[in-house]
């Protein structure tokens, strides 16, 4: 299995621009998570889906952030408009089930907003 | 409410020395427990997990962790540190919702 695939690996954009991050989970995994990691705040859960349905989006910082999962093999996280404080590494992870199956993480997207 | 506490944001050990990374959880029911490792510029990957089958759990790269219910702990150990063990280690607990510790950076001194 190729694992969780995220794209792009790096994204540099200017403040105010729209940013779209993409994730392909492991086939057969019913749960998909979006995390953000920064030095200051550590690892933060943004949102997670079960069977393509958003279950908990309480971690989404503002209305500027939105996430979709149109099918079992694809999810996007969009930031519009982006701000410098959104600079972070964004991780996607998937798992076959909660609570006892481990998460499989992608290698992340490093976002820099100037 | 559940919480996970990792003592020490940074731990430094000499190569060949014992590695001990501490993790304590707070919940009324013993949760499923996990240790993950994150190498630079990579995502987190599973080291080992506790699912109540055995209190001593062996993981990859020579790491193991012992679940102690009386101490609500799940400390990670390795008998002899190697330079390649330098990374950040995260403890996590799950009873449906996955709760993460803040992470501990392991530094290996030559």
Q: In this predicted model, what pLDDT tens digit does every residue of A50-104 receive, in sequence order?
A: 999 999 999 998 899 999 999 999 999 999 999 999 999 999 999 998 888 999 9
How many other CB atoms are found less than 10 A from the CB of residue B104? 21
Q: Of B41, B46, B38, B21, which Cα lies nearest the Cα of B88?
A: B38
- Phi, psi torsion values for A41, nearest 5 degrees: -110, -5
Q: Which residues of A touch B41 (CB under 8 A)?
A: 107-108
Check B44 against A106: CB less than 8 A apart: no
B5-25: pLDDT as tens digits: 999 999 999 999 999 999 999
Are A107 and A5 in contact by the 8 Å Cβ rule? The answer is: no
Identify whether the C-beta of residue B7 lies closer than 8 Å to the C-beta of residue B20.
no
Question: In this structure, what DSSP letter does residue B15 have?
Answer: T
Contact yes or no for A108 and B45 at CB 8 A: no
Give residue A1's pLDDT band: very low, low, confident or very high (50, 70, 90).
low
Which one of B32, B90, B103 has the shortest CB-CB distance to A99?
A: B32
Continuous segment of H or E residues that includes residue B101: none
pLDDT at B51: 84
**pLDDT digits 0-9 by tens, B45-100:** 999 999 887 899 999 999 999 999 999 999 999 999 999 999 999 999 998 788 99
Mean pLDDT, rounded, of chain B: 94
pLDDT in tens, B94-108: 987 889 999 999 999
Write the residue in A98, A102, A107 that is nearest to B43 by C-beta.
Answer: A107
Q: B65: which chain A residues are within 8 Å (Cβ-Cβ)? A: none
Interfacial residues of A (vs B; Cβ cutoff 8 Å): 4, 42-43, 45, 91, 93, 98-100, 102-108
Query: Are residues B92 and B99 in contact, defined by beta-carbon separation less than 8 angstroms?
Result: yes
Q: Mean of the pLDDT values across residues A24-47?
A: 96
Of B43, B94, B97, the CB nearest to A106: B43
């Amino acid at each position: 299995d190729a694992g969780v695939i995220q794209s792009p690996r790096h994204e540099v954009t200017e403040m105010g621009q729209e940013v779209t991050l993409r994730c392909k989970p492991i086939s057969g995994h019913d749960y998909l998570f979006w995390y953000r990691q920064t030095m200051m705040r550590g690892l933060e859960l943004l949102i997670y889906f079960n069977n393509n349905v958003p279950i908990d989006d309480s971690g989404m910082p503002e209305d500027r952030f939105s996430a979709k999962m149109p099918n079992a093999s694809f999810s996007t996280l969009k930031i519009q408009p982006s701000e410098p404080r959104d600079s972070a590494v964004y991780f996607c992870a998937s798992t076959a089930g909660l609570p006892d199956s481990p998460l499989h993480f992608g290698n992340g997207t490093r976002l820099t907003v100037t | 409410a559940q919480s996970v506490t990792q003592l020490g944001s940074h731990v430094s050990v000499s190569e060949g020395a014992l590695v001990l990374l501490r993790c304590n959880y707070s919940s009324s029911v013993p949760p499923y427990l996990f240790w993950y490792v994150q190498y630079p510029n990579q995502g987190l990957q599973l080291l080992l997990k506790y699912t109540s089958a055995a209190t001593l759990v062996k993981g990859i790269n020579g790491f193991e962790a012992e679940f102690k219910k009386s101490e609500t702990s799940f400390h990670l150990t390795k008998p002899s540190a190697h330079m390649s063990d330098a990374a950040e280690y995260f403890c996590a607990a799950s009873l449906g919702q996955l709760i993460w510790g803040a992470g501990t950076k392991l530094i290996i001194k030559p």
